[in-house]
């Protein structure tokens, strides 16, 4: 067992569950947050004796703060906080309702804000720590317009993360803020967002290879071991982002021709 304590939100399935299992196999001490008590308990039991499940609603600031408090009370400190919880819907901008926007922003964006603000005082007191925000390639490039509000929320996650890095840079250089940007990942996310993803990990959709949750989790583990500001899952993603911002109109036109 290591002395490192990692908090993971959205840990009952998908990337969060895969990350819990990988870290648990290394002897990390884990505090796992999610709303679904039964599923969360199953993940915790598989992640090892040092994995603590805490029922958490990441859309509620008090619930996120409770997750932090339980972690510190149980293990004495927190080293890494992973904001992983998320949800999406398939709706174009023209179809979005106020409820669609609020529900998605609450889970995708506000949960990240609550998590960062909850753990920052603890990290500042210790002088070090690591926040990892699970974002998406869609937060940089609009390759799927029907994921409109999800993409917009992830874009905001990227910007908030960057601004927090700049805020901490001079006074707290040992508090790292990392963003990981997966592409399409084979998780239950698609069953909820709809329509279900037909292809599976290793196959391709829209010319993009589908990633497995285990692959993304392994990249997050690498971030924990060696913090960097941003990490794309797909080696080609950074180049596509650069191409998009170099000439937005041309990039969007090329996307339209493929559809």
**pTM of the complete model:** 0.90
pLDDT value for 209? 61
Radius of gyration of the chain (CA): 18
DSSP 3-state of 152 = helix
For position 193, what pLDDT does the model report? 47
Query: Which of 150, 172, 232, 244 is an active site residue?
Result: 150
Cα 217 to Cα 228: distance, rounded to the nearest angstrom: 15
Q: What is the pLDDT of residues 55-67, one digit of tens each?
A: 999 999 999 999 9
E-strand stretches of the chain: 5-9, 29-34, 51-55, 80-83, 129-134, 175-181, 185-186, 204-205, 208-209, 211-212, 230-232
- Taking the C-alpha atoms of residue 43 and residue 213, their distance in angstroms, rounded to an integer, is 14
Amino acid 186: pLDDT: 63
**By residue range, what is the domain housing residue 17?**
5-258
Active site residue 244: no
**What is the CATH number for 21?**
3.40.50.720
Q: Which two tokens stand for residue 119?
A: 């753990």
Q: For the chain, how many structural domains are there in total?
A: 1
Pairing, β 80-83 against β 129-134: parallel
Which regions of the chain are under pLDDT 70?
A: 1, 185-209, 258-259
| Other beta carbons less than 10 A from residue 210's beta carbon | 18
């Amino acid at each position: 067992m290591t002395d490192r304590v990692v908090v993971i939100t959205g840990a009952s399935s998908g990337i969060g569950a895969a990350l819990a299992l990988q870290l648990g196999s290394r002897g990390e001490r884990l505090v796992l947050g999610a709303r679904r008590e039964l599923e969360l308990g199953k993940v915790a039991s598989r992640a090892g004796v040092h994995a603590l499940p805490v029922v958490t609603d990441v859309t509620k600031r008090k619930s996120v703060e409770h997750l932090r408090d339980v972690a510190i009370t149980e293990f004495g400190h927190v080293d890494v906080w992973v904001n992983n919880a998320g949800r999406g819907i398939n709706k174009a901008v023209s179809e979005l309702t106020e409820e669609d926007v609020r529900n998605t922003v609450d889970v995708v964006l506000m949960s990240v804000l609550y998590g960062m603000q909850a753990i920052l005082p603890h990290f500042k007191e210790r002088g070090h720590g690591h926040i990892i925000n699970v974002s998406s390639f869609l937060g940089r490039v609009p390759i799927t317009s029907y994921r409109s509000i999800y993409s917009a929320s992830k874009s905001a996650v990227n910007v908030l993360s960057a601004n927090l890095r700049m805020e901490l840079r001079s006074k707290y250089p040992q508090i790292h803020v990392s963003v990981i940007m997966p592409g399409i990942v084979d998780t239950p996310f698609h069953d909820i967002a709809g329509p279900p993803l037909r292809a599976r990990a290793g196959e391709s959709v829209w010319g993009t290879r589908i990633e497995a949750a285990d692959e993304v989790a392994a990249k997050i583990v690498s971030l924990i071991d060696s913090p960097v500001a941003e990490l794309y899952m797909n080696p080609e993603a950074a180049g596509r982002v650069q191409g998009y911002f170099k000439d937005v109109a041309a990039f969007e036109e090329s996307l339209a021709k493929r559809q």
